[in-house]
């Protein structure tokens, strides 16, 4: 059941129902994307919920999610469409005798022999969908250029068939880790959304939502520790997903406080590099043991 | 615009908001953001769909359509505040309104200590509104002695000092001063002070100060050691990621690819011997052998912190990299970078035990070339790239450009990154001109953008495409 988005507040409420707590700008940009029919380019550090936003939007609007995961060397045959060569060959071979080339040519370049890939699927769907183009920065410039037609006009030209136009208007999200600068042309066609790590209060809400059984005081301390860890200069700072994992791990272990020992035991849930582990143990662990900054009076909360 | 009469002003107001937004876009453009007509149309379109009386929504809607990278967003925020603040002030001036003052009656009665206390508390955990009110109170109480110094920045600092506000030191271990307040909150308070002082000034003089372009410095690399090292790291980690994916992205399909016959034939077996799919030989990205020489003398103190982090990033990305630091003489620090992973350790090691042989503390480029040439002459070959990070200030000593020429002849490519703005080149004891003819590129390098230009040149596949 596809539902339309009414207002910014409506978007936020629905995303919350779909277990995604959207910030002000996230809700606003999502709403604009639906209203203006423009793709959204979502950038931000790894693990702040860029992909999750697309999934939540699909849940919130009841649209189907079509995902195109980008990687180096992705080309139109994998993203748009491809002719089913084998089937065409078979077709030609069964017809080999008798019929002229003209008959066969008209025949083998029909929709029957077309293998459609995510982008063509998204456009050809009769019900509107959410199209997620994940990690667009992993592809090369050529692929980006090819996307332009799809993203601005929502159509795909297939030389042998003509132009396939969108039957419905997909909600498009492109995500990027900013590992390379995207071209101006692509950016120009998109709305821009920068997602950053949430502040303590909002991340606390997120953790509570996903691990509701964790005691309030522990959850707060957990989020504070995570923020402390992110402030360090690490190879890979912990993502939101990892704070949720950590909360669940603590729940399983039945921990009722986070002290140096608990941190040492469970640290590998949030920190995934050997050198990072040392840094965190040294800088954050010590503070936990002396109970310096992590709220002495907060135990009551 | 300033000279237009009140009648024109009214007409302009009627044309209204659209013109304002266009003016705003013009300012954004003058700061180097690419704001196209299509983006502006999007912005107008977006504003039709959101309620834009709340500032947040208005700002976000504009940002989503106009600012399309984190850097653009930063410029946008700076300008947005300034532009719309000015717009409001201008309107207030015309209508002859004045904001209510905290008259000296109240200010005078306030005792200084309680004000200090309240401000400190508010900085720790007050709302934005509270901070603003307290900033006004502080200005009313002892902000202007006479008319102040006339320079807002000076007044802000004077008030801060009078209030005895101190930022916490960056080192979390050294939490000794109980009076210190979080640094970013303090900055917030200063921002309010500045804005309120500005407002006062506008009311007093009844005109707007001319709009200045954002100082380039605000957007340049944080080269001042007093500024956050973290900012340097952010830039460099971005650079590192770019370096890591560079070369990969070239590996996609390119026009001039070579067909791999063997693999094509194999693939054709699937389609009954008809070679429907061509297989190409993979492209090998150029893996340059790098020699990096980094000036760490006092004349480039500010830049060398940054250069060291660049070196650090390069070490992560290039396997064949030898790095050298120099002041008066040169010393190789490749093993320091290979042994240590954390930047802090490296900086420490270089600053102390691995220290450069440094007698006078003055750079001697000539001597550095001689020593460098001695030590690596046998390893240099046309596939190697030499990068020099320095200001080419020889302190009046012999530049030995002919030795540098020999080095650049042996090496495939030679680049120079100069942390000084081009304006200062060849003034005083800068002898960059002597070296320039022997470099494949000399780059001014003190902003992120310039650094990126350099990285592009460095990893370019075709050496001929490199231009300074």
**Which residues on chain B are in Cβ contact (under 8 Å) with A25?**
60, 63-64
Q: How far is B157 from chain A (nearest CA, A)?
A: 28
Q: Tell whether the model's pLDDT for residue A141 goes beyond 80.
A: no
The 8-class DSSP code of residue A301 comes to -
Asked if A24 and B341 come within 8 Å (Cβ–Cβ), the reply is no
Q: How far is A35 from chain B (nearest CA, A)?
A: 7
Which residues, in sequence order, are CB contacts of A228 under 8 Å at separation 6+?
A: A284, A287, A293
B89 & B160 share domain? no
The b-or-e profile of B252-286 (16+ CB within 10 A means b, else e) is beeeeeeeeeeeeeeebeeeeeeeeeebeeebeeb
Q: Tell whether the model's pLDDT for residue B4 goes beyond 70.
A: no
Find which of B41, B64, B74, B124 to mutate to test the A interface (most A CBs within 10 Å of its CB): B64
Comparing A179-193, B198-212, B338-352, which segment has the lowest mean pLDDT?
B198-212
A7-20 mean pLDDT: 88
Asked whether residue B60 is domain-assigned, the answer is: yes
Asked if B69 and A192 come within 8 Å (Cβ–Cβ), the reply is yes
pLDDT recorded at residue B6: 45
- Three-state SS across B20-65? HHHHHHHHHHHCCCCCCHHHHHHHHHHHHHCCCCCHHHHHHHHHHH
Is residue A238 within 8 Å of residue A226, measured between CB atoms? yes
B23 & B115 share domain? no
B52 & B118 share domain? no
Q: Tell whether the model's pLDDT for residue B13 goes beyond 60.
A: no
pLDDT recorded at residue B183: 73
Comparing B135-144, B178-187, B240-249, which segment has the lowest mean pLDDT?
B240-249
| More confident position, B226 or A60 | A60
For A31-63, the pLDDT digits (tens) are 999 888 899 999 988 888 899 999 999 999 999
Q: How far is B133 from chain A (nearest CA, A)?
A: 25
**B-chain residue closest to A181, CA distance:** B242
Asked whether residue B243 is domain-assigned, the answer is: no
User: Is A118 strand, coil or helix?
Assistant: helix
Comparing B61-65, B139-143, B174-178, B451-455, which segment has the lowest mean pLDDT?
B174-178
Residue whose C-alpha is closest to residue A142's, from B281, B251, B466: B251
Distance (Å) of CA A215 to CA A21, A301, B155? 20, 9, 48
Of B70, B175, B245, the CB nearest to A180: B245
B365 & B403 share domain? yes
pLDDT recorded at residue B189: 80
pLDDT recorded at residue B254: 53
Asked if B34 and A184 come within 8 Å (Cβ–Cβ), the reply is yes
B63 & B46 share domain? yes
Q: Tell whether the model's pLDDT for residue A132 goes beyond 90.
A: yes
Highest mean pLDDT among A170-184, A212-226, B75-89: A212-226
pLDDT recorded at residue B288: 61
Tokens of B134: 């307290």
Asked if B271 and A86 come within 8 Å (Cβ–Cβ), the reply is yes
Beta strands per DSSP E along A44-84? 64-69, 81-83
Asked if B69 and A181 come within 8 Å (Cβ–Cβ), the reply is yes
**A-chain residue closest to B244, CA distance:** A179
Give B249's pLDDT tier (boundaries 50, 70, 90). Answer: very low
- The alpha carbon of residue B154 and the mean position of all alpha carbons in its chain are separated, in whole angstroms, by 24
Find which of B241, B249, B269, B273 to mutate to test the A interface (most A CBs within 10 Å of its CB): B249
Spatial separation of the C-alpha atoms in residues B223 and A279, rounded to whole Å: 26
**Which residues on chain A are in Cβ contact (under 8 Å) with B242?**
179-181
B352-358 mean pLDDT: 55
Spatial separation of the C-alpha atoms in residues B466 and B359, rounded to whole Å: 38
Find which of A30, A45, A188 to mutate to test the B interface (most B CBs within 10 Å of its CB): A188
How many other CB atoms are there within 10 angstroms of residue A83's CB atom?
16
Asked if B46 and A36 come within 8 Å (Cβ–Cβ), the reply is yes
| More confident position, A244 or B7 | A244
Q: How far is B47 from chain A (nearest CA, A)?
A: 9
For A224-252, the pLDDT digits (tens) are 889 988 888 777 889 998 999 999 999 88
Of A28, A36, A140, the CB nearest to B60: A28
Asked whether residue B233 is domain-assigned, the answer is: no
> Counting one residue from A and one from B, how many pairs have CB atoms under 8 Å apart?
113
B90 & B127 share domain? no
Distance (Å) of CA B109 to CA B137, B141, B147, B193, B318? 11, 9, 20, 21, 66
B307 & B447 share domain? yes
pTM: 0.62
Q: Tell whether the model's pLDDT for residue B82 goes beyond 90.
A: no
Of B49, B60, B68, the CB nearest to A35: B49
Asked if A32 and B46 come within 8 Å (Cβ–Cβ), the reply is yes
B280 & B299 share domain? no
Cα dihedral B77→B171→B312→B323 (10° resolution): 130
Cα-Cα end-to-end distance for chain B: 40
Average pLDDT, chain B: 71
Find which of A36, A46, A76, A151 to mutate to test the B interface (most B CBs within 10 Å of its CB): A36
Asked whether residue B247 is domain-assigned, the answer is: no
Spatial separation of the C-alpha atoms in residues B217 and B347, rounded to whole Å: 25
Of B56, B69, B252, the CB nearest to A142: B252
Residues of A with CB under 8 A from a CB of B: 8, 24-25, 28-29, 31-32, 35-36, 38, 41, 43, 72-73, 75, 85-86, 89, 137-143, 177-181, 184, 187-188, 190-194, 233, 275, 279, 283, 287, 292-293
Of A140, A184, A275, the CB nearest to B252: A140
Asked whether residue B358 is domain-assigned, the answer is: yes
Is residue B137 within 8 Å of residue B162, measured between CB atoms? no
Q: How far is B368 from chain A (nearest CA, A)?
A: 34
DSSP string, B82-144: HHHHHHHHHHHHHTT--PPP--HHHHHHS-HHHHHHHHHHHHHH--HHHHHHHHHHHHHHHT-
B79 & B112 share domain? no
B388-410 mean pLDDT: 85
The b-or-e profile of B350-365 (16+ CB within 10 A means b, else e) is beeeeebeeeeebbbb
Is residue B112 within 8 Å of residue B141, measured between CB atoms? yes
Spatial separation of the C-alpha atoms in residues B296 and B336, rounded to whole Å: 16
B455-459 mean pLDDT: 65
Average pLDDT, chain A: 84
The domain total for chain B is 4
Output phi, psi for B413, to 5 deg.
-140, 150
**B-chain residue closest to A35, CA distance:** B49
The b-or-e profile of A141-178 (16+ CB within 10 A means b, else e) is eebbebbeebbbebebeeeeeeebebeeebbbbbbbbb
Give A133's pLDDT tier (boundaries 50, 70, 90). Answer: very high
Q: How many residues does chain B have?
A: 468
B378 & B400 share domain? yes
Asked if A32 and B61 come within 8 Å (Cβ–Cβ), the reply is yes
Q: Return the biggest CA–CA distance within chain A.
A: 91
Bridge-partner residues for B236, per DSSP?
none
Q: How far is B341 from chain A (nearest CA, A)?
A: 8
B372-386 mean pLDDT: 82
Spatial separation of the C-alpha atoms in residues A263 and B188, rounded to whole Å: 33
Helix (H) or strand (E) segment spanning residue A236: none
Residue percentage of chain A with pLDDT more than 90: 17
Domain boundaries, chain A: 8-74+118-194, 81-116, 200-291
Please, is B156 exposed, middle or buried when counting C-beta atoms within 10 Å of its C-beta (0-12, 13-18, 19+)?
A: buried
B44-64 mean pLDDT: 84
Q: Tell whether the model's pLDDT for residue B231 goes beyond 70.
A: no
Give B393's pLDDT tier (boundaries 50, 70, 90). Answer: confident
Q: How far is A268 from chain B (nearest CA, A)?
A: 20
A170-197 mean pLDDT: 86
B143 & B273 share domain? no
pLDDT recorded at residue A297: 41
For B295-326, the pLDDT digits (tens) are 877 666 666 667 777 777 677 666 678 888 88
Q: Tell whether the model's pLDDT for residue A130 goes beyond 90.
A: yes
Q: How far is B297 from chain A (nearest CA, A)?
A: 26
**A-chain residue closest to B248, CA distance:** A72
**A-chain residue closest to B245, CA distance:** A179
**B-chain residue closest to A286, CA distance:** B173
Residue whose C-alpha is closest to residue A195's, from A53, A10, A19: A53
B116 & B10 share domain? no
Find which of A70, A136, A194, A285 to mutate to test the B interface (most B CBs within 10 Å of its CB): A194
Asked whether residue B450 is domain-assigned, the answer is: yes
Q: So what CATH class is A8-74+118-194?
A: alpha beta
Tokens of B158: 């004077």
pLDDT recorded at residue B2: 41
| More confident position, B242 or A176 | A176
Is residue B362 within 8 Å of residue B329, measured between CB atoms? no
Spatial separation of the C-alpha atoms in residues B155 and B164, rounded to whole Å: 14
Q: Tell whether the model's pLDDT for residue B232 goes beyond 70.
A: no
Which residues, in sequence order, are CB contacts of B296 under 8 Å at separation 6+?
A: B304, B307, B308, B325, B326, B327, B350, B356
This model of the complex carries an ipTM of: 0.79
Asked if B64 and A28 come within 8 Å (Cβ–Cβ), the reply is yes
Q: Tell whether the model's pLDDT for residue B95 goes beyond 90.
A: no
Residue percentage of chain B with pLDDT more than 90: 1
Give B467's pLDDT tier (boundaries 50, 70, 90). Answer: very low
For B269-293, the pLDDT digits (tens) are 888 888 888 888 776 655 567 888 8
Asked if A75 and B249 come within 8 Å (Cβ–Cβ), the reply is no
Rg of chain A in Å (alpha carbons)? 25
For B171-224, the pLDDT digits (tens) are 544 455 566 677 777 777 887 777 777 777 766 666 655 555 544 444 444 444
Domain that holds residue B192: 104-169+178-209
Spatial separation of the C-alpha atoms in residues A260 and A263, rounded to whole Å: 5
pLDDT recorded at residue B185: 77
Q: Tell whether the model's pLDDT for residue A10 goes beyond 50.
A: yes
B27-44 mean pLDDT: 86
Q: How far is A249 from chain B (nearest CA, A)?
A: 28
Of A32, A72, A85, the CB nearest to B251: A72
**Which residues on chain B are in Cβ contact (under 8 Å) with A194?**
70, 73
Asked if B49 and A233 come within 8 Å (Cβ–Cβ), the reply is no
């Amino acid at each position: 059941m596809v539902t339309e988005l009414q207002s910014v507040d409506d978007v936020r409420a629905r995303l919350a129902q779909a277990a995604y707590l959207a910030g002000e700008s996230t809700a606003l940009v999502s709403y604009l994307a639906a209203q203006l029919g423009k793709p959204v380019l979502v950038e931000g550090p790894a693990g702040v919920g860029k992909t999750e936003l697309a999934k939540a939007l699909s849940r919130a609007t009841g649209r189907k999610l079509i995902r195109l995961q980008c990687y180096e060397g992705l080309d139109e045959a994998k993203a748009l469409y491809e002719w089913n060569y084998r089937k065409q060959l078979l077709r030609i071979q069964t017809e080999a005798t008798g019929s002229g080339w003209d008959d066969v040519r008209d025949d083998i370049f029909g929709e029957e022999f077309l293998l459609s890939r995510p982008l063509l699927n998204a456009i050809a769907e009769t019900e509107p969908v959410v199209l997620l183009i994940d990690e667009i920065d992993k592809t090369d410039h050529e692929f980006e250029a090819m996307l332009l037609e799809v993203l601005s006009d929502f159509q795909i030209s297939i030389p042998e068939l003509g132009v396939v136009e969108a039957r419905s208007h997909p909600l498009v999200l492109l995500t990027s880790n900013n590992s390379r600068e995207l071209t101006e042309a692509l950016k120009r066609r998109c709305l821009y959304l920068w997602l950053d790590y949430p502040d303590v209060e909002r991340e606390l809400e997120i953790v509570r939502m996903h691990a509701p059984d964790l005691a309030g005081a522990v959850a707060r301390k957990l989020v504070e520790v995570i923020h402390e860890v992110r402030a360090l200069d690490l190879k890979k700072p912990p993502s939101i997903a990892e704070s949720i994992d950590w909360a669940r791990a603590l729940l399983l272990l039945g921990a009722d406080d986070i002290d140096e020992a608990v941190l040492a035991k469970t640290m590998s849930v949030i920190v995934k590099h050997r050198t990072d582990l040392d840094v965190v143990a040294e800088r954050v662990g010590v503070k936990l043991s002396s109970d310096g900054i992590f709220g002495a009076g907060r135990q009551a909360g | 615009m300033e000279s237009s009469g009140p009648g024109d002003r009214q007409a302009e107001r009627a044309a209204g908001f659209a013109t304002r937004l266009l003016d705003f876009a013009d300012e954004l453009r003058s700061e180097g953001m690419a704001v196209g007509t299509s983006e502006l149309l999007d912005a107008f379109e977006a504003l039709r769909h959101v309620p834009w009386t709340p500032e947040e929504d208005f700002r976000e809607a504009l940002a989503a359509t106009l600012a399309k990278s984190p850097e653009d967003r930063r410029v946008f925020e700076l300008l947005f505040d300034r532009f719309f603040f000015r717009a409001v002030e201008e309107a207030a001036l015309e209508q002859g309104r004045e904001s209510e003052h905290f008259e000296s009656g109240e200010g005078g009665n306030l005792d200084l200590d309680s004000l200090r206390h309240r401000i400190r508390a508010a900085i720790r955990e007050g709302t934005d509104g509270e901070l603003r009110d307290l900033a006004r109170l502080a200005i009313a109480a002892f902000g202007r002695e006479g008319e102040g110094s006339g320079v807002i920045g000076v007044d802000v600092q004077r008030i801060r000092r009078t209030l005895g506000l101190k930022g916490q030191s960056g080192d979390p271990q050294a939490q000794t001063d109980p009076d210190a307040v979080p640094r970013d909150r303090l900055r917030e308070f200063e921002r309010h002070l500045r804005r309120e002082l500005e407002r006062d000034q506008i009311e007093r003089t009844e005109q707007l100060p001319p709009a200045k372009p954002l100082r380039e410095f605000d957007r340049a690399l944080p080269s001042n050691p007093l500024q956050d090292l973290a900012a340097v790291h952010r830039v460099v980690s971005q650079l590192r990621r770019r370096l890591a994916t560079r070369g990969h992205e070239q590996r996609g399909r390119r026009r001039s690819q070579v067909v791999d016959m063997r693999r094509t034939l194999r693939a054709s077996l699937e389609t009954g011997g008809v070679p429907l799919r061509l297989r190409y030989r993979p492209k090998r990205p150029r893996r340059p052998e790098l020699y990096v020489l980094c000036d760490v003398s006092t004349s480039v103190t500010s830049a060398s912190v940054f250069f060291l982090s660049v070196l650090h990033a390069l070490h992560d990305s290039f396997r064949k990299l030898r790095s050298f630091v120099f002041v008066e003489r040169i010393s190789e620090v490749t093993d320091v970078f290979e042994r240590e992973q954390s930047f802090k350790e490296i900086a420490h090691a270089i600053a102390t035990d691995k220290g450069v042989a440094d007698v006078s503390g003055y750079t001697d480029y000539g001597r550095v070339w001689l020593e460098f040439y001695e030590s690596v002459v046998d390893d240099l070959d046309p596939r190697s790239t030499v990068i020099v990070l320095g200001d080419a200030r020889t302190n009046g000593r012999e530049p030995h450009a002919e030795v540098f020429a020999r080095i650049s002849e042996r090496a495939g490519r030679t680049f120079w990154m100069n942390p000084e703005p081009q304006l200062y080149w060849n003034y005083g004891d800068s002898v960059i001109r002597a070296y320039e003819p022997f470099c494949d590129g000399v780059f001014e390098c003190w902003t992120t953008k310039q650094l990126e230009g350099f990285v592009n040149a460095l990893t370019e596949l075709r050496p001929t495409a490199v231009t300074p």
